Amino acid sequence: MANRKYIVGNWKMNGLQSELSDMAAIAQIAAAHSSVDVAICPPLTLVATASAQNPDFSIGTQDCHFNEKGAHTGCISAAMIQQAGASFSILGHSERRADQHETDAEIKAKAEAVHALGLGAIICVGETEAERDAGKAVEVVCGQLAGSFPDHADPSWLTIAYEPVWAIGTGRVPQARDVEEMHAAIREKLKTLMNSGADAVRILYGGSMNGANAAELLAVANVGGGLVGGASLTAEKFGPIIEAAVTS
C-alpha cells in the first residue's frame, strides 16, 4: 500500500445531485487506473447517493463527530457516515481548525471514533503563512501531528495530509524542496509516535494541486498522494492528477 499513490478529492461545500455525473466519470477514470487509490469526499448530502451509484468507488466524508450520539446539533457520527456508505473521513482540515476552532485533542478523538468502526482517517496538519515566515512551520506541523495522533495508529487505516494553509485555494504552491522538507519532517515525527509502520503511512500533499503541477509534486520524496480541492470537482480537471499518479 505504501507504494500506491492515494489521490483524494475534497469537494468541500460544493456539489448537488445534478453534479453526480462527474462523480461517475471520476470513478470510471479511477477504475481504468487501478494502480492508484482514488477517493472523493462529497458534501454529506451526496454521500449515500454517491455510494449507491458507485459501489466500487471509495467515498469519504469531510468530518465526523467523536461521540456516538447525543445533543450535537448539525453533527454526524461515525456510525452514521458508515451507514451512508462512507469508508473513511477527512479530519482536522485547516478550514475546520480555523473556522470551527477544532483542537488537536478533538481531532484525535474523531480519528479514534472512526477507527473503532473500522473506518479510515485522513488527519490534516499544516501551517499558516505567518507561521512559515516566522520559521516555525516544522514546529507547528509536527506539534499538530503529535497532538492529533490517535492511539493504536496503523498505516492500514491512517493517512496524514500536509496542507500549507497559505497555498490552499490560492494557486500558490511551495517549492518542491519545501514540500520535501516538510514531508521528511512528518515522516521522522511519525517514527517517534509509532512503534512500527511509520514508513508505510502515506503522507498526502494538499495545497493547490492540479493537472499542471501534480507530476512534480507527486515525484517528491515522501509524498504519497494528494488531497485535492477545487481540481477534484470535475473529471476533466481531476483525471490528469490521477494519471500523473500512475507514473510518479
The values of phi and psi at residue 2, to 5°, are -60, -30
Rounded distance, CA 111 to CA 107, Å? 6
Helix (H, G, I), strand (E, B) or coil at 220: coil
Q: Is 72 a catalytic residue?
A: no
Helix axes 20-32, 235-247, angle to 10 degrees: 20
Of 95, 106, 163, 243, which one is the catalytic site residue? 163
> Do residues 66 and 106 lie in contact, with contact meaning Cβ atoms separated by under 8 Å?
yes
Of 93, 102, 131, 183, which one is the catalytic site residue? 93
CA dihedral of residues 127, 130, 133, 134 (deg, nearest 10): -90
Residue among 21, 83, 82 at smallest CA distance from 54: 21
Letter for the amino acid at 184?
Answer: A
Residue among 166, 185, 2 at smallest CA distance from 98: 166
Q: Is 106 a catalytic residue?
A: no
Rounded distance, CA 91 to CA 209, Å? 19
Residue among 172, 164, 235 at smallest CA distance from 206: 164
Catalytic (active-site) positions: 93, 163
